[in-house]
Amino acid sequence: MADLIVGLQWGDEGKGKIVDLVAKNYDIVIRSQGGHNAGHTVVVDGKKYALHLLPSGVLNPNAMNVIGNGVVVYPKQLIKEINEFDHDIKKKLLVSDKAHMILDHHIQIDKARERLRGKNAIGTTGRGIGPAYADKIARVGVRMGELRNIDKLMEKLAHYYEMNKGYFEYLEIEIPDMNELRKELEFYKDELIENITDTTKYLWDNMDKNMLLEGAQATLLDIDHGTYPYVTSSNTIASGALTGSGLPPKALNKVIGIAKAYTTRVGNGPFPTEDLGEAGDKIREQGHEFGTTTGRPRRCGWFDIIAARYAITLNGCDEVAIMKLDVLDGFEKVKVCVGYERDKEEIDYFPSELDGIKPIYVELDGWSGSAGVTKWEDLPENAKKYIEFLEDNIGTHIKYISTGADRNSTIIR
Ligand code: GDP
Ligand code: IMO
Ligand code: MG
């Protein structure tokens, strides 16, 4: 059976921290979508790890880590992450032979397209994610398993570059030197071939083990259900974790939704509860809200009940973790969005288009001193009231409350 950790907002909720916290209960930790656009932070005994492609279970020495078929893998980044790690993670890592590969030209296309979109840029991470998934859907992508036969792969790529000559010219991107490319692919093969396998079969053969699926990005960035086109290019929701791993729907046991006690977004697109004033700046400062992957400042605002309910339903969440409660320490009042308004009409669901949506807020009394608290009864009264208010309104049990980046700064209810 598999449990799933999934982001309920626009990413960076603290999925990495919770995956690491619970990983000791699991035999296998699986990434099933996204790529190195993800940046998952784990802090253990003051030491910080930023993971992009490696599942956040890698700090648990017992778990097997799987990069599933739904992930887009930039081999250069994967090799870098493996080599930077302080223990031999290679023996505990499997990469799907069906996972699509990001090559350098995907990164160049991503950046060129963003440049051409000008003020309508999506604000991608520039990691080649969209172009790699586009090739997958267009059935012209290359998969990790193809590293087994470099001659054949080179033939296929030569044809690909030939077909895309005009497009590359338009984007002012150079077609790579084929000798250099072959060397690069051979290097990937030498480094990774032992880890590449049919991970779907591996998961089926281990169905009696405890598995944890680690979501990347988050619900509101989902290609179908997010704020299109300001989304990522994969299905980030629970159902995407199944296609991205090959696990059957009935293998899914518990779904844990992760949300911050407020909201952030990095990149462009609608964000109804964004606070462009002092409060937003204070959240950014206290929460160190700068991207793990790109270092960009994150846009900050208040918790959005409407968006959270939408995300909880889409994912079928059994329980929720509320992260970074400590960041709201010191606010006299905290706001929570309990409804939307458009053209004087009240809306109590998350619509397909957010144009013109205005949040309806309630204000709750603030608190101080939640940082580092590990027991519910030790939380300040108003912090408890805040959590209970969220719980009542999202209609789902808040099992975890995070009060600091470290693994230990967590309340389990
Ligand atoms: P992910 O992408 O969902 O794994 O989240 P990120 O790692 O990108 O961003 C979350 C950031 O918040 C990281 O820097 C974490 O170390 C940090 N963090 C996680 N939980 C807490 C918390 O409860 N309090 C504080 N202050 N920081 C936290
Ligand atoms: P984790 O897993 C936050 C955002 C980008 C951009 C949009 C599309 O750490 O939560 P992409 O490069 O995927 O084509 O960019 O999605 N984005 C993220 N935002 N956290 C992430 O991952 C993200 N991955 C992508 O900022 O708005
Ligand atoms: Mg992140």
- Two tokens, residue 122: 């999506």
Q: Which of left, alpha, beta for 34 (phi over 0: left; psi -120 to 50: alpha)?
A: left
Residue 23, SS3 per DSSP: helix
Ordered per-residue pLDDT tens for the chain, 413 residues: 999 999 999 999 999 999 999 999 999 999 999 999 999 999 888 889 999 999 998 888 889 999 999 999 999 999 999 999 867 899 999 999 999 999 999 999 999 999 999 999 999 999 999 999 999 999 999 999 999 999 999 999 999 999 999 999 999 999 999 999 999 999 999 999 999 999 999 999 999 999 999 999 999 999 999 999 999 999 999 999 999 999 999 999 999 999 999 999 999 999 999 999 999 999 999 999 998 778 889 999 999 999 999 999 999 999 999 999 999 999 999 999 999 999 999 999 999 999 999 999 999 999 999 999 999 999 999 999 999 999 999 999 999 999 999 999 999 99
**Phi, psi dihedral angles at 232 (to 5 degrees):** -95, 180
Same domain, residue pair 303 and 402: yes
- Domain boundary (132, 167, 195) is at 195
The answer to whether 300 and 286 are in contact (CB under 8 A) is no
**pLDDT at residue 311, rounded to an integer:** 98
Atom nearest to 216 CA in ligand 2: 2
Assigned domain for 87 exists: no
Nearest protein CA to atom 27 of ligand 2, as residue: 267
Instruction: Say whether both 212 and 160 belong to one domain.
Output: no
Q: Are residues 53 and 108 in the same domain?
A: no
pTM beyond cutoff 0.95: yes
- What does the CA dihedral 326, 329, 335, 337 come to, rounded to 10 degrees? 0
Pair 31, 163 in one domain: no
Domain boundary among 170, 195, 220: 195
In the block, residue with structure tokens 């960009």: 296
333 torsion bin: left (phi>0), alpha (psi -120 to 50), beta (else): beta
Which of 189, 183, 104, 182 has the alpha carbon at shortest distance from 146? 189
pLDDT (0 to 100) of residue 278: 97
d(CA 240, CA 215): 9
What is the residue whose two structure tokens read 């059994």? 318
Of 34, 35, 26, which Cα lies nearest the Cα of 3? 26
Domain boundary pick from 195, 211, 235: 195
In-domain check, residue 211: yes
Helix, coil or strand: residue 167: helix
Q: Are residues 109 and 65 in the same domain?
A: no
**Angle CA(22)–CA(27)–CA(28) in degrees, nearest 5?**
90
Indicate whether 84 belongs to any domain.
Answer: no
Total domains in the chain come to 2
Residue 95 lies in a domain: no
Is any ligand 2 atom within 6 A of the Cβ of residue 130? Answer: yes
**Residue 85 resides in a domain:** no
Run of H or E including 48 = strand 47-51
Q: Do residues 129 and 34 make contact, with C-beta atoms less than 8 angstroms apart?
A: yes
In a domain, 113, yes or no: yes
Atom of ligand 2 nearest to the CA of 126: 12
Classify residue 265 as exposed, middle or buried by CB count within 10 Å of its CB (0-12, 13-18, 19+): buried
Ligand 2 touching residue 189 (CB < 6 A) = no
pLDDT of residue 108: 98
52 is catalytic: no
Is residue 402 domain-resident?
yes
- What Å distances lie between residue 388 and 19, 307, 328, 392, CA to CA? 24, 18, 15, 6
Please give the full DSSP string across 265-314, using - where no structure is assigned.
E-SSS--TTB--SHHHHHHHHHTT-B-TTT-PBPEEE-EEHHHHHHHHHH
pLDDT value for 294? 80
Ligand 2 pocket mutation, candidates 36, 41, 232, 289, criterion most atoms within 8 A of CB: 232
φ, ψ for residue 115, nearest 5 deg: -60, -45
Cis peptide leading into residue 229 (ω within 30°): yes
297 shares its domain with 206 = yes
Same domain, 190 and 217: no
What is the amino acid identity at position 310? Answer: Y
Whether residues 50 and 107 fall in one domain: no
With a Cβ cut-off of 6 Å, ligand 1 is lined by: 7, 11-17, 39-41, 43, 292, 323-324, 326-327, 402-405
Q: Note whether residue 310 is domain-resident.
A: yes
Nearest atom in ligand 1 to 42's CA: 16
- CATH number of domain containing 120: 1.10.300.10
Q: Determine the 3-state secondary structure of 356 from DSSP.
A: coil
Length of the chain: 413
Alpha carbon distance 110, 108 (integer Å): 5
Q: What's the CATH number where 308 sits?
A: 3.90.170.10
CA dist., res. 373 & res. 377, Å (int)? 9
In order of 182, 336, 360, 393, the CA distances from 365 in angstroms are: 62, 11, 17, 17
Output the CA 212–ligand 2 centroid distance in Å: 21
- 305 and 156 belong to one structural domain: no
Max alpha carbon distance in the chain (Å)? 66
Q: Quickly list H helices, 206-261.
A: 238-243
**Residue 45 appears among annotated catalytic residues:** no
Cα angle at 17 between 381 and 55, to 5 degrees? 160
Q: Say if residue 361 is in the same domain as residue 223.
A: yes
Residue in 172, 157, 128 with CA at minimum distance from that of residue 35? 128
Contact call for residues 411 and 379 (beta carbons, < 8 A):
yes
Residue whose Cα lies nearest atom 17 of ligand 1: it is: 405
| Same domain, yes or no: 164 and 272 | no
344 Cα to the center of ligand 1, angstroms: 37
Distance 118 CA to ligand 1 centre (A): 31
| 166 and 296 together in one domain | no
Hey, CA dihedral for 123, 127, 133, 138, is it positive or negative? positive
Residue range of the domain that includes 391:
2-76+202-412
